[in-house]
Amino acid sequence: MRVLVLGADGYLGWPTALYLSHRGHDVGALDNFVRRQYDYELGTSSLVPIAHLQRRVKTWEEMSGLRVEPFIGDLNDAGFVYDTLREFKPDAIVHFAEQRSAPYSMIDRSHAVYTQVNNVVGNLNLLFAIAEIDPSIHLVKLGTMGEYGTPNIDIEEGFIEITHRGRTDVLPFPKQPGSYYHLSKVHDSHNIMFACRIWGLRSTDLNQGIVYGQETDETVLHPDLATRFDYDGVFGTVLNRFCVQAVAGHPLTVYGAGGQTRGMLNIRDTLACVELAVNNPAEEGEYRVFNQFTESFSIQELADKVVDAASGPVTISNLDNPRVEKEQHYYRAAHTKLLDLGLVPHLLDRSTVSSILAVAERHRDRIDVNAIAPSANWRTAGQKGRVRSEAGSSTS
Ligand code: NAD
Ligand code: USQ
């Protein structure tokens, strides 16, 4: 199949592009490198050194004999999106290309606005381009489990049957997201569902949990093929962060009580899930949702696993929670649709945690402990909205 991977320079997009190429798909790799720009802005960098996209593509061709075709540009540039679809002629598009950090979106007004414009407008440009150029293209869109929030009932896969005053319907599951980033994914989901309904597009919304790990069968073949590994207080996700903290001798930063429970999955399962969705496309006009995670854990349980797997003593520190979120709550979410399609999960055992600790250990000289503390605060973000004009007077 011809698969265009959007966000193919990122943590998940790059290994997905390699995986799909290795498994016989013709792959296009689109990115505008804005993720590298956030590193310059925040003064951070990937723990594992990453090669530029052009070098990655060249090394992959040398190693495998397979060609991944790069497309450099911004999804917010509609002309670029239309031109790319006309040129590459994909059967499926896998859309990873969004600003994906909840803390980044909660720094202040401008970061919240940027996140929603980048994500929602980029996705809208894509929907219009698909509708005009080839409505049979299957859009596989990365959403997030965080779209649902943490309701006090079981979470279904996208839709819930509701009986209200004697009448019954199947409706989208209620959304209670926890950041302006997570909200951008909800807006995307609504826009995609609408486009499927009015134009007959076909789409799979993958509501993915938190991904951990860094190595895949393809990325370990050569250092140029490595994917990024974020551990800083803005882009680092919880388990990867805890592994780096353990190696650096930094207390594990559990926010608040640590009872926050989330769906999680191994990076290798991200690749497998995406290919299962690509190989089993949605029907014409169908908008379907898969909950893409394999197990759920509380943050405290994750910290305990890292303490258990680490070679030396590791302490845990319960920080004041910079986020506004429930710290003890009910959590049970359905995730059977990808299993039904054949997913065989890599579960989180001690050896998996050890393998992430080993990655951190190999690159321990690159750890910047000053980057670890959380910097965005949900409570104070609302007071960081004012715009200062060039003349120095403030406006709102
Ligand atoms: P990432 O930031 O490493 O990669 C995203 C890539 O998209 C970057 O290379 C960036 O440069 C590119 N990009 C962003 N905006 C773009 C635009 N307007 N035009 C072109 N390229 C653009 O993120 P990731 O961790 O690989 O996540 C990929 C996707 O998966 C995101 O949509 C994210 O919301 C979703 N997701 C990630 C996780 C996780 O744990 N990492 C979990 C659930 C869902
Ligand atoms: N947390 C800590 N300590 C830390 C970091 C995080 O206790 O040092 C807690 C957070 O408070 C939160 C949980 O761990 O309760 C998860 O935080 P995270 O930063 O690992 O993940 P999150 O902000 O939810 O975002 C990540 C990805 C995002 C994706 C989401 C999937 O960055 O792109 O959408 O995971 S989900 O969580 O299912 O919405």
CATH value at residue 151: 3.40.50.720
Active site residue ranges: 144, 181, 185
Segment 319-335, tens digit of pLDDT: 999 999 999 999 999 99
Segment 152-199, tens digit of pLDDT: 999 999 999 999 999 999 999 999 999 999 999 999 999 999 999 999
Query: Which strand (E) or helix (H) includes residue 291?
Result: strand 287-292
Percent of the chain at pLDDT above 70? Answer: 98
Instruction: Return the DSSP state at 76.
Output: T
| Residues in the ligand 2 pocket, defined by CB under 6 Å | 100-102, 144-146, 182, 209-210, 237-238, 241, 253-255, 260, 262-263, 299, 323, 325
Q: What is the rounded distance in angstroms from the CA atom of residue 209 to the CA atom of residue 292? A: 6
Query: Which strand (E) or helix (H) includes residue 395?
Result: strand 394-395
Range of the domain at 338: 2-230+265-294+333-345
Q: Is the pTM of this model over 0.85?
A: yes
pLDDT at 388: 59
* Number of domains within the chain: 1
Nearest to 98 by CA among 65, 74, 80, 62: 74
Mean pLDDT of the chain: 97
| Residues in the ligand 1 pocket, defined by CB under 6 Å | 7, 9-13, 31-35, 74-76, 96-100, 118, 122, 142, 144, 208, 210-211, 228, 237
Q: Is residue 212 part of a domain?
A: yes
Q: Is residue 173 part of a domain?
A: yes
CA atoms within 13 A on the CB side of 31: 25
Helix (H, G, I), strand (E, B) or coil at 130: helix
Name the residue at shortest CA distance from atom 21 of ligand 1.
31
Q: Is residue 377 part of a domain?
A: no
Q: Is residue 101 part of a domain?
A: yes
pLDDT at 207: 98
Q: Is residue 140 part of a domain?
A: yes
Q: Is residue 312 part of a domain?
A: no
Q: Is residue 352 part of a domain?
A: no
Q: Kindly tell me if the per-residue pLDDT of 389 is higher than 70.
A: no
Q: Is residue 304 part of a domain?
A: no
Helix (H, G, I), strand (E, B) or coil at 224: helix
